[in-house]
Amino acid sequence: MGGVKKKPLASMEKNQDGADQPQGDEAKGKKGKEQKAGPQQRKQLAVVAPRMADDVMIKSLSPLKAITTYGASRALGVNASVAVSVLRQLETKGLLTKVGGFSGHAVWAVTKAS
């Protein structure tokens, strides 16, 4: 039927030793009165793009049928997060067009130069 179990001798001795010390605010010290720190701010890390010209990047991406984040990261030799930022920059410059994808997994293609 349940109930409180008997504590081991070691923990009973600790409780007796703790009874000799003063209780209340003196035992706790200033821990209860300390101010809590505010929420930490996230650090925004700058993405370091590869030091290549746009035409060199397009030349390395053009053999790919479908340019994805993973394919671009392998072709350019950078992390996936850097590859996403590079692909978005090339898209804003009009060198790439988004042709498909969903849920954050976009697919790009090289824009045909007329």
Going by pLDDT thresholds of 50, 70 and 90, the confidence category of residue 21 is low
**pLDDT at 84 (0 to 100):** 92
Whether the model clears a pTM of 0.85, i.e. scores above it, the answer is no
* CATH fit for domain 60-110, picks 3.10.20.30, 3.40.50.720, 3.40.50.1010, 1.10.10.10: 1.10.10.10
**pLDDT at 114 (0 to 100):** 40
User: Are residues 80 and 73 in contact, defined by beta-carbon separation less than 8 angstroms?
Assistant: yes
Provide the pairing of β-strand 96-102 with 105-110. Answer: antiparallel
Going by pLDDT thresholds of 50, 70 and 90, the confidence category of residue 23 is low
Locate the domains of the chain by residue range: 60-110
Q: Percent of the chain scored above 70 by pLDDT?
A: 76
Q: Which backbone phi and psi does 65 adopt, to 5 degrees? A: -65, -50
* 28-41 pLDDT, tens digit each: 555 556 667 777 77
| CA 72 – CA 69 distance, rounded (Å) | 5
